Amino acid sequence: MKQIQIFDTTLRDGEQVPGCKLDRDQKLRLAERLEELGVDVIEAGFPISSPGDFAAVQEIGKLVKNATVCGLSRAVKEDIKVAGEALASAKRPRIHTGLGTSDSHIFDKLRTTREKVIERAVGAVRYAKTFVEDVEFYAEDAGRTENAYLAQVIQAVVDAGATVLNIPDTTGYCLPEEFGAKIKYLTEHVVGIDKCTISVHCHNDLGLATANSIAGVQNGATQIECTMNGIGERAGNCSLEEVAMILKHRLGDQFSTGINSRLLNPISREVSMEMGMSVQANKAIVGDNAFAHSSGIHQDGVIKARDTYEIIDPREVGVDKSLIVLTARSGRAALAYRFKELGINLTKRELDAAYKIFLEVADSKKSVEDEDLKVIWKGMAVAVA
Ligand code: KIV
Ligand code: ZN
């Protein structure tokens, strides 16, 4: 059984999303909850970016007891120094430093050469090591970096003392097979990589962040970088709740994590509330509809046996129960079930009569609520009298 480290970057990659900015107290509250959730690493912020973020990283470093606290920096001396200062009181500090390695980053953004990028990478890691022992190097846009050159960069930073090697698919470009092969290639071509943690940091531009992260661990990565609700730059990052449940439910015989899955739903809601960023209703694991059933065919199945249409028990992720939502597509079984929840056990004749009225009501609105059911029941009682 391989233990997969969960590196949460909700407070850094997630927080840099327009509209999601958190103040220091909000960051502290969420850091505490992320630690309770069981993440191994909390990326608390980008200390040089603002005095507020510096203070947040510093305070989180003091507050967090078990998780590693990480601060981001570019491969720039001043960034690294400020990150080192912000993390000075953390119990388990980590500096996360790096730069772009794809041709697009090297030639268009950084306007430099491949050789100079390696020199800068090595210099950044060596300098970060003067502040902390635990240094994570990111090869930005590794997803679009040619494997042979990526292996050269990674070899150089391993030799310089990097402890964690982050292979980001920054633009969400890779297909799962391709990304898995990239991780495997590195494990086979970098000497000493087995002494380091290989990390994957996948973005969701093509909706493949979760699939790519899983392909990464299936090919040798032992850390996944992710965010609650999948928030992050553009289409977001890999979702913490998704990888945690995939590893637990589908790959539990090979991998484990420290995540307490019962806290996934409550913490998803807290993140959404603090950031003012709603979660799409059909979001896997934490969306409002993740355990809701509305069509008659599905409702009939779930009422008879929950697992006909649910692969996860909602309580396992902190949701009280599955929902039977009444709409014009619902059947008699669902209507009887919802009346029963209100303490009303309908006979077959009563159910037939109620269903007729229900369909009229349901056709006129999006969903039929308990209040509507009470009115239907009252109307039936009056008709009988
Ligand atoms: O997406 C990315 O490449 C990043 C790095 C800074 C790790 O967020
Ligand atoms: Zn990112």
**Residue where a domain terminates, one of 275, 300, 332:** 275
* Whether residue 102 has its Cβ less than 6 Å from ligand 1: no
Identify the bridge partners of residue 3 per DSSP, sorted by sequence position: 256
* Whether residue 46 has its Cβ less than 6 Å from ligand 1: no
* Whether residue 145 has its Cβ less than 6 Å from ligand 1: no
The pLDDT, as a whole number, for residue 113 is 98
The pLDDT, as a whole number, for residue 380 is 87
Answer yes or no: is pLDDT of 383 > 70: no
Query: For ligand 1, what atom is nearest to the CA of residue 12?
Result: 8
Same domain, 223 and 322: no
d(CA 193, CA 234): 31
If you average pLDDT over residues 156-179, what whole number do you get? 98
Do the beta carbons of residue 87 and residue 95 sit within 8 Å? Answer: yes
Q: Which domain holds residue 312?
A: 292-384
Identify which of 53, 102, 95 has the alpha carbon closest to the alpha carbon of residue 74.
Answer: 95
Answer yes or no: is pLDDT of 384 > 90: no
Longest Cα–Cα distance in the chain:
90
* Whether residue 172 has its Cβ less than 6 Å from ligand 1: no
Do the beta carbons of residue 243 and residue 7 sit within 8 Å? Answer: no
Predicted confidence (pLDDT) per residue in 270-306, tens digit: 999 999 999 999 999 999 999 999 999 999 999 999 9
For residue 372 the two structure tokens come to 């509507």
The pLDDT, as a whole number, for residue 385 is 61
Do the beta carbons of residue 56 and residue 28 sit within 8 Å? Answer: yes
Predicted confidence (pLDDT) per residue in 191-248, tens digit: 999 999 999 999 999 999 999 999 999 999 999 999 999 999 999 999 999 999 999 9
d(CA 166, CA 182): 12
If you average pLDDT over residues 329-340, what whole number do you get? 97
109 CA to middle of ligand 1, Å? 15
Same domain, 193 and 309: no
Task: Return mean pLDDT, the chain.
Answer: 97
Burial class (CB in 10 A: 0-12, 13-18, 19+), 383: exposed
Same domain, 266 and 376: no
Same domain, 144 and 70: yes
In the chain, how many domains are there? 2
* Whether residue 140 has its Cβ less than 6 Å from ligand 1: yes
**Residue where a domain terminates, one of 225, 248, 275:** 275
* Whether residue 216 has its Cβ less than 6 Å from ligand 1: no
153 CA to middle of ligand 1, Å? 16
d(CA 324, CA 128): 54
Predicted confidence (pLDDT) per residue in 125-134, tens digit: 999 999 999 9
CATH of the domain at 370: 1.10.238
85 CA to middle of ligand 1, Å? 21
Residues with Cβ within 8 Å of 25's Cβ and at least 6 positions away in sequence, in order, are: none
**Residue where a domain terminates, one of 243, 275, 307:** 275
pTM (2 d.p.): 0.96
